[in-house]
Structure 1
C-alpha cells in the first residue's frame, strides 16, 4: 500500500494532532452529509425516549437507549431542544445532537469511508500506532444552530490499558470559531495524565471513575491551563487526534450547523485490554471490526498474518 503521510506528519500525530485538508472528496463529503440529514429526517420521533446528550460530569446521559446503542444507529437530542415536559421546542431536524454509535457497521456509506477506505487503511499503516487496529464508536455530531452544546476539555484514551485511542474526525461542513470548531492543547498527552474513565456504574447509568489520586488530578488540572489552538476546517478535512491529547469545542452560537463524522481506532486484544466497565461494549453479534485486512496487517507486523 502506498504511503500517504510524510514522516513529519507522523511525528506531528505522535505529539498532538494532525489536520489533513481535503481527505474526503467533495462528492464523498456531500454524500455523508446528505445521508446524515436523511437519517435524522426519517427516524420516528413518536417512539423516541427523548434521550438528550450532555457531556457534563454530573449530568451525563446513561439510560438504556444510550447504553444499548453500541451496535445500533440511534439519535440523541440537544439538551436545549427538549422542554421540561419532554417536548421538542423546535423541528426535529434542528434538535439532534448526534447520531451513534454503529454507523460504521450498519450504514453502507459510513462503513465505506471507515472500514473499506484505502486512505484510512494507509493512515493506519503509516502511523503504526496499532498492530491490529479496530474501529468503534462512530458518530455524526451535529452542533445545532445556537444550541449546539459545548464539549469541555477531554481526551479519548480511556478505552484500553495501555491507552491506544486514535480519533478520526471528518468535517462535513465548514467549522468555524462561531459554530464549534475543535480546539487542541498540543503536547498535553506528555504533561496531563488521564485522570478518569467514562464507565457503566454498578448501580446503573453512566459516570466517570477517577483513576488517579487527588494530587495527580490537581497536577493535571494545572497542566491543562495551556494555550489551546483552534482549528477551523473545511468540508472533507480530516483531523487525526492522539487519544491522550486534550481537546474541546465551544457552544455553537451561529446560525449554521457544524456536522462532523468521527470514530475511534484502538488496539485489539491481547496487546491492549478493553475494560469491561467501559460504557460501550462489543456484542456477540457485532464485535469490533478490524480496520486492516490480512495483506495490510503484514505491512505492520508480518508475524501476525
Structure 2
C-alpha cells in the first residue's frame, strides 16, 4: 500500500480505519525525509547537555514522574531519559544517545525539519480526508525505544491525555526504523475505539491523576502492527494501543504527532497541556 502524494485516503482505507481504529500507510515518508529527521535528532542530542535538568519518562509510573519540566515541555524541545538508563548511583549506564526515551513535545513548532513534515501537504490532505476542518498539531515526540532498555508503553487511548469536547484526537506515528515484534512495535485492539473513552489523565492543583483505575485487557485481543521505516500508522484517539519493552539489540525510532480539531470542539482546560499561545491551525476549511 503506497499513499498518494497529497495524502488523501480512498474509501477502502477510510473503511478499514473506521472499522479497526488504526491504519497503516506504507512509504508515507521517503528515505530522504526519514534520514533528515534522524540526522536532525542526532544534532539536537549532540547539543543537549545531559548534566542540566531533564526528567525520566515512565508510562507505568506517570503520575509520580510528572513535574514542571514535563509541563513546560508542551512548548519546548525537552529530553526524557529511560527508566533503566541509570545505575544505583544515578550515573548513566550507557552513552547519552542510548539513554534518552523521547524528545518532546513541541518539535513540530520549534524545529524546522520536524515542522516541515508535520505541516506538509500530505499530512494536511490526510487530515482533511479524516474530516478535520480546523486541525492543530498539539503534541509531537521523537521516540527512541532504545536497544535493551526501551521502556514499555502500557495500554492507553490518546484521547485520555489530549481531550476535546467532543473527542477529536488522532495520532500519526511515523516509523523512522523498522518496527518489529522483537524491538517493540505497536500493538492495538481492533475496533476498541467503538467502545468510547475509558478514562482521562487530568491536571489539577496538586498535579495529574487518572480519573478512573487502570483497566485490564486480554493480551489475546491485541494485534501487532509491524511496519517498515517510512510507514505511517494512523491511530484513532479512542483505540487502545501499547508497545512492549525493547529487549533486543536494535532500536526502534519513531516520530509521533497528535492532532485535534478546533472547529466546534473545545480543548479541555484540565488537560496536562496548557498553552500560553494557541497553536496556529494546519489549515482551515
Q: 1:58, 1:71 → 2: CA distance?
A: 19
Once the two structures are superposed, residues 227-263 of structure 1 have per-residue CA deviations (whole angstroms, 9 ceiling, x without a partner) of 2110111111001001100000000011111110011
Q: 1:182, 1:251 → 2: CA distance?
A: 11
Q: Which has the larger radius of gyration?
A: 1
Partner of 2:279: 288
Structure 1 segments unaligned to the other structure (5+ residues): 298-305
Aligned residue among 245, 250, 253 for 1:256: 250
Structure 2 segments unaligned to the other structure (5+ residues): none
Once the two structures are superposed, residues 175-200 of structure 1 have per-residue CA deviations (whole angstroms, 9 ceiling, x without a partner) of 11111100111100123x42221222
Aligned residue among 47, 52, 59 for 1:42: 47
Q: 1:79, 1:29 → 2: CA distance?
A: 27
- 1:149 CA displacement: 0.3
CA contact (8 A) 2:185 2:224 kept: yes
- Normalised by the length of structure 2, the TM-score is 0.91
Paired residues for 1:157-196 under 5 Å = 157-158=159-160, 159-191=163-195, 193-196=196-199
- 1:89 CA displacement: 1.7
Partner of 1:149: 151
- 1:119 CA displacement: 0.5
Partner of 1:209: 211
Paired residues for 1:1-305 under 5 Å = 4-15=8-19, 16-49=21-54, 51-57=55-61, 60-115=64-119, 117-128=120-131, 130-158=132-160, 159-191=163-195, 193-204=196-207, 206-210=208-212, 221=216, 227-268=221-262, 271-284=264-277, 287-292=278-283, 294=284, 297=285
- 1:226 CA displacement: 5.1
Q: 1:40, 1:111 → 2: CA distance?
A: 18
Please give the secondary structure, in 1, of the residue aligned with 2:33: helix
